[in-house]
Amino acid sequence: MRLTPRTFRLPLLLAVPLLAAACSQWDGKRDSLNASPAAMAAATPDALYGAGIDSMRKGEYQDAIGYFDSIEREHPYSTWATSARLMAAYSDYMRNRYTEAIGALDRFIQLHPAHRDIAYAYYLRALCYYEQIVDAERDQRATEIAMNQLQEVVNRFPGTPYARDARLKMDLARDHLAGREMNIGRFYQNKGLYTAAIGRFRRVVDEFQTTNHVPEALHRLTEIYMALGLTEEARKSASVLGYNYPGSSWYQDSYALLGEGGIEAGGSGASRPGFFARTWNSIF
């Protein structure tokens, strides 16, 4: 399940340095270049590259890969071959052939670490992992891998548009990881395995403070502490919730729960930047 629509298609085309030259020599008459192995073997690399670009623009990615692969096979030392490797990986990505795309990108990164489009290669590889993220009900190993790949883009190319987009996708990936912790925590809570549930909910609060799962996690902690008779811990959790999310329905539920137990929740009002972490850490 993809989290967001695909992005940065056009920048890839603009970034490849040989595109303009190819297009100047390829007028879109792809029919003049027969896609048979013999014809492609006899074609010049610029003609093959132009045919690949033309196929890709038409959404005929399998044909595009054939042209780009032919450049690598027939003209491996030409200036066109390097860009063809990247374009073939992109075509595989567009076909949802992520394993093939990742393999091609790994080779590109290893062979061409100083290429002008190396930032995009890292970014595209991260996207291949990112778009394999499944919903929060399932195993999130793919999410963790995607997070690492996106972080590498941010670390290596911090001033690029790719890094900015990677940061946004990392926020969504964190939300997925937090959602998984919440699902497991609720399961443990429903089974009466309170210690295990507390561990999951506290992880959400400690490690995923920027996600929208934190208010519910604090409320679930309040519920569990009340169920265990740990009224002071329940009050503290509700206080943190009230200070940071005073308008949240989760705080209203926690406030009502404490009221039923004769406990004053305390702590309401607007939060200040960084106040959540300071409050949580000082109380717990």
| Local confidence band at 11 (pLDDT 50, 70, 90 cut-offs) | very low
pLDDT attached to residue 22: 45
Q: pLDDT band for position 137 (50/70/90)?
A: low
Give residue 143's pLDDT. 84
The whole-angstrom separation of Cα 211 and Cα 174 is 7
- The reply to whether 147 and 209 lie within a common domain is no
Asked whether residue 25 falls in the same domain as residue 145, the answer is yes
Q: Two tokens at 274?
A: 């960084």
Average pLDDT over residues 35-39: 58
Is the same domain home to 206 and 144? Answer: no
> Alpha-carbon distance 98 to 125, whole Å?
9
Would you place residue 40 in the very low, low, confident or very high pLDDT band (cuts 50, 70, 90)?
low
Residues 157 and 238 in one domain: no
* pLDDT level of residue 45 (50, 70, 90 thresholds): confident
Average pLDDT rounded to a whole number, residues 126-153 = 83
pLDDT tens-digit readout, 51-98 = 888 888 889 999 999 999 999 888 888 888 999 999 999 999 999 999
The whole domain housing 232 covers 192-283
Position 249 in a domain: yes
CA atoms of 168 and 158, how far apart (whole Å): 13
- In the chain, the number of structural domains is 2
Q: What is the pLDDT of residues 253-279, one digit of tens each?
A: 999 998 887 877 654 443 443 444 544
Residue 193 has pLDDT above 50, yes or no: yes
- As a whole number, mean pLDDT of residues 200-216 equals 94
Which backbone phi and psi does 7 adopt, to 5 degrees?
Answer: -130, 170
Domain boundary among 144, 175, 206: 175
Compute the distance between CA of residue 235 and CA of residue 254 in angstroms, rounded to an integer.
9
Query: Between 35 and 23, where is the model more confident?
Result: 35
- The CA distance from 228 to 210, in Å, is 28
Q: 189 — alpha (psi -120 to 50), left (phi > 0) or beta?
A: alpha
Q: Which residue has the higher pLDDT, 35 or 140?
A: 140
One-character DSSP codes across 78-129: SHHHHHHHHHHHHHHHHTT-HHHHHHHHHHHHHH-TT-TTHHHHHHHHHHHH
Contact 79, 18 (CB under 8 A): yes
Note whether residue 43 is domain-resident: yes
pLDDT value of position 284: 54
Residues 26 and 167 reside in one and the same domain: yes
In a domain, 140, yes or no: yes
SS3 249: helix
Helical H segments across the chain, by residue range: 9-15, 19-25, 37-42, 45-57, 61-74, 79-94, 98-111, 118-130, 141-156, 161-190, 194-207, 214-227, 231-244, 249-260, 275-283
**b vs e for 4-22, b when ≥16 Cβ sit within 10 Å of the residue's Cβ?**
eeeeeeeebeebbebbeeb
Percent of the chain whose pLDDT exceeds 70: 75
What's the whole-model pTM score? 0.71
54 found inside a domain: yes
Residues 159 and 262 in one domain: no
Residue 149 pLDDT > 80: yes
CA 257 vs CA 43, 58, 62, 149, 238: distances in Å: 76, 60, 60, 42, 10
Question: Based on the domain organization, do 164 and 233 belong to the same domain?
Answer: no
Q: Which of 72-76, 131-135, 200-204 has the lowest mean pLDDT?
A: 131-135
Instruction: Judge if 171 and 200 occupy the same domain.
Output: no
The verdict on residue 187 lying in a domain is: no
**Are 91 and 105 in contact, with CB atoms under 8 Å apart?**
no
For tokens 């010049």, what's the residue? 44
135 confidence band (pLDDT: 50, 70, 90): low
Task: Look at residue 177 and tell me whether its pLDDT is greater than 80.
Answer: yes
- Please check whether residue 185 lies inside any domain of the structure: no
13-17, 32-36, 178-182: lowest mean pLDDT where? 13-17
d(CA 9, CA 165): 13
Q: Would the pLDDT of 232 be above 80?
A: yes
pLDDT of residue 274: 45
What is the predicted pLDDT for the residue at 33? 58
Whichever domain contains 20, its CATH number is 1.25.40.10
Across all residues in the chain, what is the average pLDDT?
Answer: 82
* pLDDT given at position 265: 62
Residue 73 domain-assigned?
Answer: yes
108 falls within a domain? yes
Choose the final residue of a domain: 126, 144, 175.
175
Angle at 177 between CA 194 and CA 269, to 5 degrees: 70
